[in-house]
Amino acid sequence: MLTSCARCLLSLLLATILPQAVRADSPIRLVATIALPGVEGRIDHLALDPLHHRLLVAALGSNRVEVIDLARNRRSGEIENLPEPQGVLFLQERERLYVTLGEAAHIAVVNGSDLTSLRRIPTRADPDNIRYEPGADRIWIGEGDGPQGALAAFGPDGEALLFEIALDDHPESFQLQAKGPRIFVNVPGQQGVAVVDREKRTVATRWKLPCSANFPMALDEAHARLFVGCRRPARLVALDTETGRVVAQVDAPRDADDLFLDPATHRIYVSSGEGLVRVYVRRDADHLEVAGDVSTGSGARTSLFEAESRRASWPYPVGAARPRRSRYSIPRIRTGKFMLRYEASASIRAPGESIWPVLSDVVHWNRWTPTILQVEALDGEEIAPGRRFRVHQPRLRPTIWRVTSALPPTRFMWEARAIGTRMTADHVLARTAPEETHLTLAFSFAGVLGGLVGRMTGRLVQSYLDTEAASLRRCSEDGAPGSSPAR
């Protein structure tokens, strides 16, 4: 789970809790940048130190851990002489930092107060991911190459190896149950998930996945769901943790490397080397929808989301195609907040194929919804990327919208711009049964003035969205005017 780059930016996204009127699946926007001079090569995992308000970043290619002061949004130091740092874990109660060292096959234990080295603990080859089990006061790591792959448990303060549990191959991300004895382990070499019983210290079962190169993982223990990100093909897969059955699959960004759940807002974040963080919203335990993509940079794989502090961060490679003027690059940190987004949805008793002709026939929207007075086609009436439409609505100025994405018969997006504001509208049809479709209409504001404009017009926008969702449902189900294509 490594990010290879000649130049790196470390992007730090700060999330805020939005007002109740704002929907919980808002994407992310960047607002600040912090320089990290001297870091080059690959970046691996990250950890939060809430005690000292710091972010700790495994700068694998530079053989050190970067220390970021989150209170001042700046680099405050580094921990050097760490051969190939990969996993990082900060335990607030002990004020200790633990770093797995892939090249040295050790765990480095660091004083969390002054960041001085305390000791090193030997491991098998290539120690990587690291987790803490509070109830048993144990530290777990994934280690070992090929058939030497294993999970290793260490005792209090990580001083002694307690036991190891053999696996079929090198483990990547793994998650521990808080209210049960199981550990779910991604084993990409076996194209599956190993389910470990940590009380019996053995592999209880193995679940085969419908995709391979499965690196990131997140666990929703409350709903008995395990989420796994694959690269071949690019998929986000949901499994029932009671049976191992695949209950949902959706497209994911390419080269996914980290995956986090936000239980408070029902979001899922997937960071990827494709150059984006994809935000999903969960309609229920087994239905996922894309809420938006946040552009990062090609190769930006690993990330961190910390639910309590509402903070996310990821390494951001940039400028790889540019000529290097010197040996060292200047990584940075970016900070951000969620953009403002409103949404309405409806369950429609009709197949999406019969709804799409009405939804995509935008020039005749005024036939089925009172929120539209007129839509003028400026480049042709068919919904296609690049086409422009002038939309007239009650109480609003006429606005020109440009189609940015069209995926018949399930989705299209368009956007409009004003001074300091970018508005995006999304229209999604998701099949939930042979004769039933879930409609989602979303409207978001971004830009320097986007938040202000969004809050000023939010009540009207939400009212229009609710009306349009209800109107489309009625005309699709009851054959009201506009329920069949105009042409």
Chain segment 420-476, per-residue pLDDT in tens:
888 999 898 888 778 889 898 989 888 878 878 888 898 899 999 999 999 999 999
- Describe the crossing of helices 352-360 and 450-478 by its angle, rounded to 10 degrees: 130
Tokens describing residue 462: 């939400």
The Cα 335–Cα 449 span in angstroms is: 18
pLDDT > 90: what percent of the chain?
55
The CA–CA distances, whole Å, from 430 to 14, 195, 213, 288, 350 equal: 31, 32, 27, 10, 11
The Cα 121–Cα 152 span in angstroms is: 12
Confidence of residue 336 (pLDDT cuts 50, 70, 90): very low
Tell which wins on pLDDT, 323 or 134: 134
pLDDT score of 207 more than 50: yes
What's the pLDDT at 71?
Answer: 79
pLDDT digits (tens, 9 = 90+) for 156-196: 665 678 999 999 999 999 999 999 999 999 999 999 999 99
pLDDT digits (tens, 9 = 90+) for 421-435: 889 998 988 887 788
Note whether 234 and 217 are within 8 A (CB): no
pLDDT digits (tens, 9 = 90+) for 141-163: 999 988 899 999 998 665 678 99
Q: Which residues contact 436 (CB under 8 A, 6 or more apart)?
A: 347, 348, 349, 350, 351
Note whether 473 and 439 are within 8 A (CB): yes
Q: What is the pTM of this model?
A: 0.65
For 165-195, the three-class secondary structure string (H helix, E strand, C coil) is EECCCCCCCEEECCCCCEEEEEEHHHCEEEE
Tell which wins on pLDDT, 483 or 42: 42
Q: What average pLDDT does the chain have?
A: 84
Domains and CATH numbers, the chain: 8-338 (2.130.10.10), 342-478 (3.30.530.20)
For 367, half-sphere exposure in the C-beta direction (CA atoms, 13 angstrom radius) is 18
Mean pLDDT of 239-268: 91
76-80, 283-287, 329-333, 364-368, range with the lowest pLDDT: 329-333
pLDDT score of 75 more than 50: yes
Q: Exposure pattern of 131-150 as b/e (b: 16+ CB <10 Å)?
A: bbeeeeebbbbbbbeeeebb
Please spell the DSSP secondary structure of 411-474, one letter per residue.
Answer: EEEEEEEETTEEEEEEEEEEEEETTEEEEEEEEEEESTTHHHHHHHHHHHHHHHHHHHHHHHHH
In the sheet with 311-317, reading across from the earlier edge strand, the strands are: 8-14, 311-317, 304-306
What's the pLDDT at 32?
Answer: 53
Mean pLDDT of 8-22: 41
User: Which residue in this structure is represented by tokens 């190769």?
Assistant: 299
Name the residue among 16, 55, 35, 30 with its Cα closest to residue 303.
55
